[in-house]
Structure 1
Amino acid sequence: MNPSQTSPLVDADRLAGALVRPGTVWTGVSSVTSTGSTNADLAAAARAGAPSGTVLVSDHQSAGRGRFARVWEAPAGTSLAMSVLLRPPAALPSERWLWLPLVAGLAVAEGIGIGCGPAAEVKWPNDVLIGGRKVCGILCERVDAGEPAAAILGMGLNTTLGEDELPVPTATSLVLAGAEVDPTGVAAAVLAALGRWYTRWLAADDLRAEYAARCSTVGRPVRVEVSRDQVVEGTATGVDDAGRLLVEVAGRVRSFAAGDVVHLR
């Protein structure tokens, strides 16, 4: 991002025109050049009564967070931080919320393909990969404010990071994958896909087969790091109806609702 830039890379009016219409889940769109954390901003908005369907996109985050309170920051203008506020019906069983980061992953993978071309896949539970390298991380948080409670889904998508800017060698960006990036177009494609997948999730569609088909974790040897003291190795066989990863360990299938997954060769 050029230091003199005053307008966000994502055109909020254009994005709203593509998303906010009758029959979609989206109700409002904002875009900024920089913030501390889009998830934190929308969590505050949720506590202030913001409606379901609120979207915030930023060119830069100075206090971006991942799972387990991990902190990360990309150079300004090289990634998109997108967070959405959704309020699933209060009657929905809380265990079904485990599917939300998986739904977001499917949407990002689909949106990348539609918006700029590269084939992407999901890694359980919250990463999107291109060519086995991470291009997007996802963070889902619950805010028990208002009725019903809010789900804040955050997606950090590497757009124009160069090789010398990657946080780790196992990361990548859309540009490094050969894409020409229109930030507004990519954001629109991802969020449109998320609206479709979220609507299907609300309707209780069985998404297990479609998720498994897009998931690079399923069918391969994995190590699941549940905690520092609990590590399990086996073969990932799929996900269950609650979105938990199924891993065959010594002839017995175990399910995991959370954990860091390492793909083993």
Structure 2
Amino acid sequence: MTKTTSPLFSAIKIVTNMNERIGNTNISEAIARNHGLLLEHFFEPVLDRAAYIKLLNDISTVTSDLALQAELEQAWSDEVNEYDKETGSALKHAQHACLYVELARAAEACNEHIRAWAFNNYASVMIGEVLEKSATIQNRAETKKRSKQNSKNAQGRSKSILLVKEEVARLLEKMRPEAGWPYKATAVAVLESPLTGFIENNNIFDIQPSNIEKWLTKWLREDELVNRAWEKSKRAQGNNKV
């Protein structure tokens, strides 16, 4: 009879532990969690830690004065205009989320527990929106970064391939038989070895030596630079077949 091994934690135990952990969270822990989410998922990746610290310092002077709070919120309206629309919108939500988290802290310090939880819960809703906007901003930045890198890589490949084409043109003229190249296939066979050395010596990784025959055949027929060198160095009469 096969003995059944009981799981380390039953489903009920897992649910119980989760409920206990959530239900026993105090306001200080909830406040710290919200600040941690804002810092880790918005300010550090999108702006910087200094912007977060400045924001908290500004808020600390207004939590007990509604007039100062109104002035600070007006200043934020001007500040977000310095950013693109998407970042500005996320920052606006983050600023107000920080404000209400700190209002929760101030209320808790005055033993206004229900008010503290209300402020922090309101901030939590806004933080959810901030995190969603932040993810979009970061994905956009990463896409832009990859696009820029791909463009840079493409430019590097183009430059490397041009060096090889220039070498092909040079070798077509330098190694030209006295009567001219009789066939393109002949030129490909003769140039393959020196081109392999050129590619390896110049650390050109965009063209594999094993593909030289294919590229040479195509360039002799289609590339402006290589075809021009071929026309100058091919045999004047006769059939120059591939």
Max radius of gyration: which structure?
Answer: 2
TM-score normalized with structure 1 length: 0.21
Structure number with the higher helix fraction is 2
TM score, norm. by length of structure 2: 0.22
Higher strand proportion, which one? 1
